[in-house]
């Protein structure tokens, strides 16, 4: 735990130092740490000396030394450039190739966005190439719908591939390299049943299949394409059954799957696992830097063992922690289950953290990108709250979001003595987004919470309207002069429209009334309801709450 905290402090100290000419600021570092791990607030007194110690150590280093110590994107603040990534090891301008290999088994979520954005940014930094490679080697889960959705989501995110390819298009070459492994004695066909294989791997025991000659293995390999059924035969890598790294205990390289493939139909029945396809394809595709999440760390040994056995070029592997958002489900398997059970309406249900759902809620692609890069590529596990991305998104949408009045749990009050029949209000206090006109009806609505906070005879101010004194259930006009000491309330007129507001993270729906100018806006527009928050219009009678 202490080491994890030290690593977290070191990460933010380095990021802060590099962003400000080599000198980190302790207070800024503490702010970043607490934003990423809110639970550390209770331990702030214990952490402060550690922060000071590590910041002092980092500040003694030169900027060049600091850059060498980081392995994640860093924002350097300068007049010329807003964001710069630290150098990749052994990278050459024009020769860097990165790849993003999603499985077309669902829609992308914010966790996928982290990998895609970092891969894409590095390729652009070095004037290199970025490959979108569909890891479509499991026909059970792959669907045409998902191929198209992933491409569309990446375009929305601003991630533009230079090359788009499918692993399924390269199966014949992968078969060739599988046969080379067999001939060189690095792979064998195992005929043991799945339960036996599982037990042997747990115990570190070799089976008799492992001792077969390469001639027998080649013959069995051919039978996998014609005779054997699913689970009757698999191709395994000959690793080390005694290895403490259980990944190396003769993992599966190819298996039989007799399902129709969305692109290849029934042409193939022998499919590679990710463990085999990833290193071979990375090498053949010219990938220079393969970035992937920390969950694959134990598989690095297998990745390089396969390439060494085949005498293929080895890319540089760089790993970072997965992005997990507090309170959100980021497992495609779990999301599919939720959809099938009717718990959510689909992949774009605003309660999810898929890119489709975030777009529907009102998050901007630029905000997602800035949020991802602000987290860096540390291996330290974290589960940020939505506060950081909300603050970034707010800066982007605030200048262009029109302001309207919305009242939750509306209470009708009668207006008396107000001299005007209509008022003109600006759509935005600072930007020229136009004006709207509101008719003054004899009765208005204010929120139940505001109404119950007013004492009989108290003077209040209705925003952009005037001062009023409460008498029973009436508001008596009491002048236009601005008095900052008065309580301020928002309101809507008697012609206000009924509106529902969905709070996706709380799975809660509230009802209220919105000013009738709402009907002049379009579905998809983002508005700010005064004293309430930003919302995205999802239909003519429902909005989705985005954030404050």
Q: Residues 52, 103, 152, 324: which is the catalytic one?
A: 103
Residue of 390, 344, 385, 399 lying closest to 363 (CA atoms): 390
Torsion over CA: 484, 486, 490, 491 (sign) = negative
Cα atoms in the 13 Å half-sphere on the side-chain side of 240? 7
Query: Out of 114, 236, 292, 332, which one is annotated catalytic?
Result: 332
Instruction: Provide the 10 A C-beta neighbour count for residue 79.
Output: 5
- How far apart, in Å, are the Cα atoms of 21 and each of 24, 59, 84, 87, 510? 9, 10, 13, 16, 49
- CB of 136 closer than 8 Å to CB of 146: no
114 within 8 A of 375, measured Cβ to Cβ? yes
Instruction: Check 264, 322, 426, 448 and give the catalytic one.
Output: 322
Question: What is the separation, in whole angstroms, between the first and last Cα of the chain?
Answer: 34
Across the beta sheet with 533-539, the strand order is 402-404, 526-529, 533-539, 542-547, 497-503, 508-514, 406-408
Q: Let me know if 332 is a catalytic residue.
A: yes
* CA dist list (Å): 189 to 139, 215, 234, 236, 270: 22, 11, 6, 6, 12
Q: Which residues pair with 413 in a beta bridge?
A: 444
Catalytic site includes residue 322: yes
With a CB cutoff of 8 Å and minimum separation 6, the contacts of 478 are: 459, 466, 467, 468, 469
Q: What angle do CA 10, 28, 64 make, to 5 degrees?
A: 50
What does the alpha-carbon distance between residue 493 and residue 445 come to, in Å, rounded to a whole number? 6
Query: Parallel, antiparallel, or unpaired: how do β-strands 410-416 and 474-477 relate?
Result: parallel
Residues carrying an active site annotation: 103, 322, 332
């Amino acid at each position: 735990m202490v080491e994890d905290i030290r690593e977290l402090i070191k990460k933010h100290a380095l990021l802060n130092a590099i962003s400000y000419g080599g000198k980190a600021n302790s207070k800024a570092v503490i702010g970043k740490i607490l934003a990423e791990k809110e639970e550390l607030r209770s331990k702030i007194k214990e952490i402060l000396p550690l922060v000071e110690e590590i910041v002092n150590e980092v500040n003694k280093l030169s900027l060049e030394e600091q850059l060498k110590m980081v392995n994640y994107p860093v924002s350097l603040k300068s007049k010329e450039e807003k964001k710069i990534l630290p150098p990749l090891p052994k990278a050459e301008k024009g020769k860097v190739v990165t790849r993003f290999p999603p499985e077309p088994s669902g829609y992308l979520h914010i966790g996928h966005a982290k990998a895609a954005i970092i891969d894409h940014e590095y390729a652009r930094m070095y004037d290199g190439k970025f490959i979108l490679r569909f890891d479509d080697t499991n026909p059970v889960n792959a669907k045409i719908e998902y191929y198209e959705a992933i491409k569309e989501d990446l375009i929305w995110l601003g991630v533009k591939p230079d090359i788009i390819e499918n692993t399924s298009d390269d199966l014949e070459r992968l078969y060739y390299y599988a046969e080379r492994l067999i001939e060189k004695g690095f792979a064998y066909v195992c005929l043991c049943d799945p339960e036996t294989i599982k037990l042997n791997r747990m115990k570190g025991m070799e089976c008799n299949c492992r001792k077969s000659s390469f001639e027998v293995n080649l013959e069995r390999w051919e039978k996998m394409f014609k005779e054997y059924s699913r689970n009757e035969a698999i191709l395994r890598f000959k690793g080390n059954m005694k290895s403490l790294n259980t990944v190396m205990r003769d993992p599966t390289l190819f298996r039989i799957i007799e399902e129709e493939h969305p692109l290849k139909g029934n042409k193939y029945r022998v499919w590679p696992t990710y463990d085999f396809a990833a290193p071979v394809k990375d090498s053949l595709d010219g990938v220079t830097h393969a970035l992937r999440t920390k969950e694959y760390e134990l598989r690095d040994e297998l990745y390089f063992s396969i390439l060494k056995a085949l005498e293929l070029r080895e890319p540089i592997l760089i790993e970072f922690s997965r992005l997990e958002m507090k309170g959100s489900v980021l497992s495609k398997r779990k999301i599919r289950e939720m959809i099938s059970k009717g718990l959510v309406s689909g992949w774009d249900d605003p309660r999810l953290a898929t890119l489709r759902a975030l777009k529907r809620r009102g998050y901007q692609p630029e905000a997602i990108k800035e949020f991802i890069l602000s987290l860096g590529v540390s291996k330290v596990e974290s589960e940020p709250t939505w506060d950081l991305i909300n603050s970034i998104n707010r800066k982007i949408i605030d200048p262009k979001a029109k302001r309207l009045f919305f009242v939750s749990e509306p209470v009708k009050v009668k207006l008396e003595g107000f001299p005007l029949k209509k008022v003109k209000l600006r759509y935005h206090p600072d930007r020229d987004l136009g004006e709207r006109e509101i008719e003054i009806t004899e009765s208005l609505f204010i929120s139940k919470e505001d109404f119950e906070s007013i004492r009989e005879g108290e003077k209040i101010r209705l925003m952009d309207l005037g001062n009023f004194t409460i008498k029973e259930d009436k508001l008596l006009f009491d002048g236009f002069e601005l008095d900052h000491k008065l309580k301020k309330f928002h309101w809507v007129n008697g012609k206000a429209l009924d509106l529902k507001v969905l709070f996706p993270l709380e799975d809660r729906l509230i009802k209220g009334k919105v000013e009738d100018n709402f009907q002049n806006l379009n579905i998809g527009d983002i508005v700010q309801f005064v004293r309430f928050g930003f919302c995205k219009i999802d239909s003519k009678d429902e909005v989705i709450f985005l954030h404050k």
